[in-house]
Chain A
Amino acid sequence: MTVKPFVLAAALLFMTTAAAQAHTPLCSCFDNGDNTITCEGGFSDGSSASGVAMRIQAADGSILMEGAMDADSTYTFTRPAGDFTVLFDAGEGHVIEVPSRNIVL
């Protein structure tokens, strides 16, 4: 094994780690007042959450709805009956859970 690839690999690893620490996933959901809810996702470094998987989970753990953040990093859905949790899933270590009681106007 030569030294050079090792150094490159180490540098790459370092960058990956740094990137993971530098951005925290963020997701807030708002009641639109018309029986729909809009969730806004993003990262603390301002990068887009477009394409991030979204799941709406019932209290019993069953998945009620699935989708993805749109081009504006938003996801709008019809409010389900009862308590539920919104899952913003940007991968391991980047999952946010928003319980329905935290959804504000």
Chain B
Amino acid sequence: MKSSLASLLTGAVVLGAATMASAHFQMIYTPEMALKQGGQIPLKMVFTHPFDAGYTMDMGTPEEFFVIRTRGENEPVRTDLKEGLKAIEWASLTNTGKAWETTYQARGGDHIFCLIPEPYWEAKEDAYIKQNTKVIVNVGGEPGAWHEPVGLPTEIVPLAKPYDRWTGNVFQGQVLLNGEPVPNAEIEVEYLNHQPLLDSNSFAEEPAVTVPQESFSVQTIFADNNGVFTFGIPRAGWWGFAALDLEEDYTYKDHPCSHDAVIWIQAKDIN
């Protein structure tokens, strides 16, 4: 986190960002994280501003896209999925951006999808953004190693199953950089407020919720000394957590690069 003096100095930049209303989030989207039975599932990889279905950034070719399947006490099995990616155009409410899709044949247990994207050049900030992202899909209720680090350079390790949260539960995660906790990491939290429409590769126009004031569209929280953060889940649906700028002095092509970690959860109403 910047000092208050630094914040003052960069006040103009902060103000500029605030008018954008929501934050960058790398998505790995599939309609259901907790499947009753296996089968073929769609996956869409989109780098966008999910709360307001805002500007969708052009994704480059991912550096890595793979899944780690674990079931019960079995050894984890890693499968590369990069070769199966197909380029698509994803339409948000403001523009259309380059994105990726694939399908995956899911059997039982936990499937930890991991995306290491090519860094995105954010000209406005004269810097790159690289959001290493995880989504965990469970089939049939048999757990695997959802709670173990995959070993991504930046990673959020869930401390509760990201696919079994009721509305009103908390979600906790631990932010890691190269396997070590990141004390006081800054995390942005955003609700997937526009339904992704998989047939048309776009977001629904109508938002699920409206905000009383701009602070609510992207919420900022901080991890504790062990890199652990806690978030109470107020509504069913997808919630994204982006831990920002975890590696000081991280660069890409001789420019600063914000080295982020993203995880998504899907909460359900209890009734």
**Measuring CB to CB, which residues of chain A are less than 8 angstroms from any residue of chain B?**
24, 26, 28, 30, 40, 42-49, 72-73, 102, 104-105
What residue in chain B is nearest A105 (Cβ atoms)?
B39
List of B residues within 8 angstroms of A73 by Cβ: 71-74
Contact between B40 and A46, CB atoms less than 8 A apart: no
What residue in chain A is nearest B73 (Cβ atoms)?
A48
List of B residues within 8 angstroms of A24 by Cβ: 141
Closest Cβ of chain A to B138, distance in Å, is 11
Give 19 A-B pairs besides A30-B38, A46-B73 with Cβ atoms closer than 8 angstroms: A26-B140, A26-B141, A28-B107, A28-B108, A28-B139, A40-B107, A40-B142, A42-B71, A42-B108, A43-B72, A43-B142, A44-B142, A46-B72, A48-B72, A48-B73, A48-B74, A49-B72, A73-B71, A73-B73
What residue in chain B is nearest A26 (Cβ atoms)?
B142
Contact between B108 and A104, CB atoms less than 8 A apart: no
Q: How far is the CA of A8 from the CA of B109 in the complex (A)?
A: 36
Contact between A28 and B72, CB atoms less than 8 A apart: no
B37 proximal to A (CB < 8 A) = yes
Using known A-B contacts A26-B140, A40-B107, A44-B141, determine if residue A104 contacts B38 with beta carbons closer than 8 Å. Answer: yes
1/0 per residue, CB under 8 A from A, across B121-162: the answer is 000000000000000000111111000000000000000000
Most B CB within 10 A of own CB, among A42, A47, A49, A102: A42
Residue in A40, A45, A105 whose CB lies within 8 Å of B108: A40
Q: How far is the CA of A46 from the CA of B161 in the complex (A)?
A: 13
List of B residues within 8 angstroms of A45 by Cβ: 143
B105 proximal to A (CB < 8 A) = yes
Most A CB within 10 A of own CB, among B71, B72, B74, B144: B72
List of B residues within 8 angstroms of A48 by Cβ: 72-74
Contact between B105 and A40, CB atoms less than 8 A apart: no
A-B contact pairs, 6 of them (CB 8 A): A28-B107, A28-B140, A44-B141, A48-B73, A73-B72, A105-B39
Contact between A42 and B39, CB atoms less than 8 A apart: no
Contact between B73 and A47, CB atoms less than 8 A apart: yes
Q: Enumerate the 9 nearest inter-chain pairs by beta-carbon distance, A residue then B residue, closest first.
A: A42-B72, A42-B142, A48-B73, A40-B108, A46-B143, A26-B142, A28-B140, A28-B108, A72-B74
Q: How far is the CA of A49 from the CA of B142 in the complex (A)?
A: 11
Q: How far is the CA of A64 from the CA of B162 in the complex (A)?
A: 40
Closest Cβ of chain B to A74, distance in Å, is 9
Contact between B74 and A102, CB atoms less than 8 A apart: no
Contact between A105 and B105, CB atoms less than 8 A apart: yes
List of A residues within 8 angstroms of B71 by Cβ: 40, 42, 73
Q: How far is the CA of A20 from the CA of B142 in the complex (A)?
A: 16
Most B CB within 10 A of own CB, among A40, A43, A48: A40
List of A residues within 8 angstroms of B142 by Cβ: 26, 40, 42-44, 46
List of A residues within 8 angstroms of B109 by Cβ: 40, 42
Q: How far is the CA of A43 from the CA of B142 in the complex (A)?
A: 6
Most B CB within 10 A of own CB, among A28, A47, A48, A104: A28
List of B residues within 8 angstroms of A26 by Cβ: 108, 140-142
Contact between B38 and A46, CB atoms less than 8 A apart: no
Contact between B107 and A30, CB atoms less than 8 A apart: yes
